[in-house]
Amino acid sequence: MSPLLPRLRKDPRAAWIAAFVLAATLMALPWIAGQFGNAWVRVFAFACLYVMLALGLNIVVGFAGLLDLGYIAFYAVGAYMYALLASPHLTEQFAWIAQMFPAGLHLPIWLVLPFGAAIAAFFGILLGAPVLKLRGDYLAIVTLGFGEIIRIFINNLNSPLNLTNGPQGITLIDPITLGVTFSKTINFFGYEVSSLVLYYYLFLALAIVTVVICLRLQDSRLGRAWMAIREDDIAAKAMGINVRNVKLLAFSLGATFGGVAGAMFAAFQGFVSPESFVLNESIIVLAMVVLGGIGHIPGVVLGAVLLAVLPEFLRYTVEPAQIFMFGKVILEAEILRMMLYGLALVLIMLYRPKGLWPAPEHGVNPVQQRHSRLAA
C-alpha cells in the first residue's frame, strides 16, 4: 500500500487537499487532452467506461473469488437493450410496435438505463444459478461459454424475427439527452463544450458513483460475506452465510454495472454490433482487475485507466519514436504496440504478481511490510 494513504487518513486537511487536486485534474483532463486531438478525449471517456466494467467484474472476481471469463456478455446485454429501446429498429421490423408508437420507439435514458441494468442483473442470475457448485478452471470454462453463447445468439438473431439485425448491428441509436442533447456542441458561459466532453463528464460521474457503491459494498456485511466465500466457502457456510444467495448477488450486482456501461457505450457510439463483444474484451477487463490489484478498488481503477490509455498512447508514439531513433519505421505501429503491451503485462506479472496496487494485508503494518520487502 502506498505510504501516502496512511498519512492522508491521519491528516483530514491533507486528504481534502488531495481530493480537490484530483477533482480539478479530472475536470480539466478533457480540455488538456483536447489540445492533442479529440481522439484523446474519446480515449479518456472510454477509460471511464472501462473503470465501470472493471469494478463490476471486481465484485465477482475480486470480492467473491468467482473467476468469470464471460463478463462482456452483460456489457452486450445492456448495449443491445439501449439500442432496441432508443432506435427505430423495432418499429421498422414489427408493425404492431409501429402502431403503438407512430413517432418511433425512442424511450428516455431514465427509463432505458434501469431497464437495461435489471435485464443484465437477470442474466447474471441466469449465469450464476447453474454454476454455484463450480470453482476454479471449471467455472472459468462455463462462464467463457456463456459469454460466447450470448455473442453468437446476438449475431444470429436476425431470422426468422429480426431482433438484433445480426452481424449488421443496430444503427441510428439516440444520443443521451439530459436537458441538452449530448450529440451537439453546447455553449456554456461562452465556452464551446463538445459532445465528447459532455460524454466524458457523464461517464466520469457514473464511474465515481460506481466507486462509491463498491466502497460501500466492500465495507458492508454482504462484502464481508463475499470475502469469506472467496477465502473458504465451506468455512463460510459453516459460519451461517447463505453461500448460494451471496454468490448470486455477486453475479447480479456485477452484471448490473456491466449493463449500465453497455447502455452508455451504445449511446456514445450510436451503433452496436456483435464484434464489439468478443472474448478478447472479457480478457482485457479481467486483465485490468488483475493488473491493478485484484479485490482492491483503487488498484482496479488504476489498472482500468492504464490498460485503456496505454495501448492508445503506444499507437501514436511508436512510429515517431522509431523515426527519431533509426530514421525509419522498422516495425509497424500495430505490431510493435501489441508487442510492447504484452511485454509490459508479462514484466508486471513477474515482478508485481499481486498487481500494481494490491490490497493491504490485514493485520500487517504497511511500514513494516515495506521494510521487510527491502530487506529481502
Contact call for residues 208 and 27 (beta carbons, < 8 A): no
pTM for this prediction? 0.89
| 355 domain-assigned | no
| 224 domain-assigned | yes
What is the per-residue pLDDT for 184?
Answer: 80
pLDDT tens sequence across 160-181: 888 898 899 999 898 888 878 8
For residue 246, count other CB atoms closer than 10 A to its CB. 19
* Beta bridge mates, 191: 188
| 372 domain-assigned | no
Domain extent for 48: 44-277
| 38 domain-assigned | no
* CA 341 to chain CA mean position, Å: 19
Cα-based distances in Å from 88 to 159, 172, 333, 357: 18, 7, 39, 45
Q: Which of 306, 312, 273, 259 is nearest to 287 (CA)?
A: 306
* Beta bridge mates, 86: 106
Residue 195 sits at φ, ψ, to 5 deg, of: -60, -40
| 223 domain-assigned | yes
What is the per-residue pLDDT for 363?
Answer: 46
Amino acid at position 350, single letter: L
| 341 domain-assigned | no
Q: Which residues of the chain have pLDDT under 70?
A: 1-12, 14-15, 361-376
What is the per-residue pLDDT for 304?
Answer: 93
Cα-based distances in Å from 237 to 43, 62, 109, 241, 273: 44, 19, 41, 5, 42
What is the per-residue pLDDT for 362?
Answer: 55
| 354 domain-assigned | no
Contact call for residues 275 and 77 (beta carbons, < 8 A): no
Peptide bond into 30 cis (omega under 30): no
What is the per-residue pLDDT for 43?
Answer: 93
For the chain, how many structural domains are there in total? 1
What is the per-residue pLDDT for 1?
Answer: 46
